[in-house]
Amino acid sequence: MSGTARAFPAPLLAVRALRRAVAAVATVMAYLAGWAYLACAVFMTFDIVARAFFGFSSQATVEVTGYTLAGGIAWALAHTLFRRAHIRVDVFVNRLPVRLRAPLHVLSLAMLTALAVLVTWVAWDLVAESELFNAHDNSALRIEMVWPQGIWAFGVSIFAIACIVLLLESILVLLAGQGALLDGLLGSRTLEDETEEALEAVAMAHEGEQR
């Protein structure tokens, strides 16, 4: 058995592969959320110009932008989790040694997972209720509420799945005694992480200009 196999047992490797698959889905969803926000900005600009110069509007700007905002946030949650980009207050935790910091990371993720599962259950319960009463919004479009609520609930569900998969991997890493690896998986982003991401963004921008 190789050193890599001893350091990373088969269950951990399987969960890590699952996490990467979920992360790939989350990345696509985050990009779609970003494009949805861009489309929302174009829609709002058109509505303002049309109201000011042509005397008409969609009469649904508030509703459509609200749905887009809620759906975009939900669809980007999982990607933000995997990128360790959620806002956190960990001044004291970062001062602790890794052997104490690692289990605290797992505990915080477990609490986040419980919250995500609860929100997911409530979200789909809301969708079912809207379907039962055939609920529509009050805009001129009369949108069935199951559609924006369903999009939002789907995003929250993927976030809950991401939390569960990441929690399972974290527990296996902790049991394997890889505290430093766990700290890198769940800990706050370091200056090196931020610098690497900025350099990647610059490289992508240069590639776009060359095309």
Instruction: For tokens 């939900």, name the residue.
Output: 74
Q: Looking at per-residue confidence, does 206 or 35 come out higher?
A: 35
Q: What is the CB neighbour count within 10 angstroms for residue 174?
A: 18
Contacts from 99-105 at CB under 8 Å and sequence distance 24+? Answer: 99/179, 101/179, 101/183, 101/187, 102/174, 102/179, 102/182, 102/183, 103/174, 105/170, 105/182, 105/183, 105/185, 105/186, 105/187
Q: What is the pLDDT of residue 5?
A: 42
Residue 195 is predicted with a pLDDT of 75
pLDDT score of 124: 98
Enter the pTM of the model.
Answer: 0.85
- For 19-69, write each residue's pLDDT tens digit: 999 999 999 999 999 999 999 999 999 989 998 898 888 788 888 899 999
CA-based nearest residue to 112, from 157, 74, 167: 167
Check whether 158 has a pLDDT greater than 80. yes
Which tens digit of pLDDT belongs to each residue from 193-205?
Answer: 667 766 776 776 6
